[in-house]
Amino acid sequence: MAQKIEHKIFEIGKGFYLIKSNEKDFNRNIYLKKFEKNGRVISMLFDPGTILDITYLEDVLKNLIGGVEKLNFIFLSHQDPDVSSNSLYFISKSKSLIISSIDTLRFIKMYGIPENRVVPIENFKSMKVKIKSTGHIIEFLPANFCHFKGAYMVYDYETRILFSGDFLSGLNTKFSGDIFADEDSWLGISLFHQIYMPSSHAIKNTVNRIKNLTPFPVLIAPQHGDLIKDRYIKLFLERLENLKVGIELLGKSTPQKEMLILALLHFFQFLRKEHFEIYRNFVEDLKRPGNFTLPFEFSKDNIIEIKTDVSQALEYIRFKLKSSIPREYLKKILDKYNEYLKIFGIKVEKEGL
């Protein structure tokens, strides 16, 4: 029996809906857009998720468009099972077509999807497409190698919302409960990109495509994590352009990384000696992957490798301390964490809570 996952639905633009799963560390964002004019409705479902989402999605489609059978299009940003594995189910319940890149369609056909139910983006005469029934315009934007060769995004000109797929997605590192990104979201975005994006060159190409959109998006809607709006759009795009990721970090040992591993070894020894239960819970939390790849490699309870750069690793440890340690012990333990960082020459960006 499939695990029951709770979802919430939000209208984020005219006829544009977010269906958000509630996993603590790494949720899925599924989107539905209703293109509506003079009583005609064309609906598009973006990255329809997994079996865990089907029951709730069926209810959403019934309420918003009159049922699954009235679904017209399914857009897939790429082929990963967390975004595409529901595709066969939804086309079997409707006359909908799947739109995606040739590279993506090559993989998702392995679900048993018939040839006549898929539309390669590359077959369109232009990446800017007019929906005949309603007159709405959307644009398909390549996000090559972010993180898949055939990844694509979709820009809706009516709402100025860019569905970005895995690009600008992030691990959940924000403590406030709303759906929009703030400064705390950057840690989750940078961790995700450093682990999953292959190169900064691929990121820069995708950032440039977004920057060239006219009019510029008012909202970026990624497949995981927080929605990005206002000043955070340009801010996070600029930061991504300067972020080292993937092969640029692979197996790259630096003196700072080695010093951080030593600092963490001593910090863990302090926790184990002075606050054993807190230590056990904290380390177990760090080692628990949940729905996201771990930023660290462990040997027993010791970190032996860091997959991100030092600044992201530092912030991730700090985030995990704040989210897993009882409030009455937190300041003392954070102070000790900062103390060991300074002993080993690691620059401490933040001192307080």
For the stretch 276-286, pLDDT in tens is 999 998 888 88
Higher pLDDT pick, 138 / 350: 138
* Residue 347 Cα to chain centre, angstroms: 28
Segment 1-10 shows an average pLDDT of 73
Is residue 147 predicted with pLDDT exceeding 50?
yes
**Position 1 confidence tier, pLDDT thresholds 50, 70, 90:** very low
- Can you give the pLDDT at residue 202? 97
Q: Which pTM does this prediction carry?
A: 0.83
| Low-confidence winner among 83-92, 219-228, 286-295 (lowest mean pLDDT) | 286-295
| Low-confidence winner among 142-146, 153-157, 170-174, 234-238 (lowest mean pLDDT) | 170-174
- Can you give the pLDDT at residue 350? 63
Is residue 229 predicted with pLDDT exceeding 70?
yes
CA 148 vs CA 20, 152, 248, 263, 327: distances in Å? 23, 9, 17, 36, 41
Is residue 2 predicted with pLDDT exceeding 60?
no
SS (H, E, C) 3-46: CCCCEEEEEEECCEEEEEECCCCCCCEEEEEEEEECCEEEEEEE
> DSSP code of 180?
B
- Can you give the pLDDT at residue 4? 61
CB 34 within 8 A of CB 138: no
Q: How far apart are CA 75 and CA 105, in angstroms?
A: 11
Segment 49-71 shows an average pLDDT of 95
Q: How far apart are CA 245 and CA 239, in angstroms?
A: 12
What's the order of all strands across the beta sheet hosting 73-75? Answer: 7-13, 16-21, 29-37, 40-46, 73-75, 97-100, 118-120
- Can you give the pLDDT at residue 8? 92
Which residues lie below 8 Å from residue 141, measured CB to CB, with a gap of 6+? 127, 152, 153, 154, 155, 162, 206, 209, 210, 213
Per cent of the chain over pLDDT 70 is 95
Would you call 337 helix, strand, or coil by DSSP?
A: helix
CB 74 within 8 A of CB 45: yes
Q: How far apart are CA 35 and CA 13, in angstroms?
A: 11
Is residue 78 predicted with pLDDT exceeding 80?
yes
**Position 304 confidence tier, pLDDT thresholds 50, 70, 90:** confident
Is residue 151 predicted with pLDDT exceeding 90?
yes
| Low-confidence winner among 163-177, 217-231, 281-295, 306-320 (lowest mean pLDDT) | 281-295
Higher pLDDT pick, 69 / 286: 69
Segment 231-240 shows an average pLDDT of 98
- Can you give the pLDDT at residue 291? 60
Q: Nearest-CA neighbor of 288 among 276, 275, 298?
A: 298
Report pLDDT digits (tens) over 163-213: 999 999 999 988 787 999 999 999 999 989 998 999 999 999 999 999 999
What is the pLDDT of the chain when averaged over all its residues? Answer: 92
Segment 49-58 shows an average pLDDT of 94
7-245: CATH number? 3.60.15.10
**Position 347 confidence tier, pLDDT thresholds 50, 70, 90:** confident
Would you call 73 helix, strand, or coil by DSSP?
A: strand
Is residue 290 predicted with pLDDT exceeding 70?
no
Per cent of the chain over pLDDT 90 is 73
In degrees to the nearest 10, what's the CA dihedral of 160, 161, 165, 170?
120
| Domain residue ranges of the chain, discontinuous segments joined by + | 7-245, 255-343
Which residues lie below 8 Å from residue 76, measured CB to CB, with a gap of 6+? 47, 83, 84, 87, 98, 99, 100, 104, 108
- Can you give the pLDDT at residue 352? 52
The dihedral built from the CA positions of residue 136, 11, 226 and 228, taken in this order, carries a sign that is positive
Report pLDDT digits (tens) over 264-277: 999 999 999 999 99
Q: Strand 73-75 and strand 40-46: pairing?
A: parallel
Q: Nearest-CA neighbor of 225 among 24, 11, 6?
A: 24
CB 81 within 8 A of CB 89: no
The phi and psi torsions of 326 (rounded to 5 degrees) equal: -55, 140
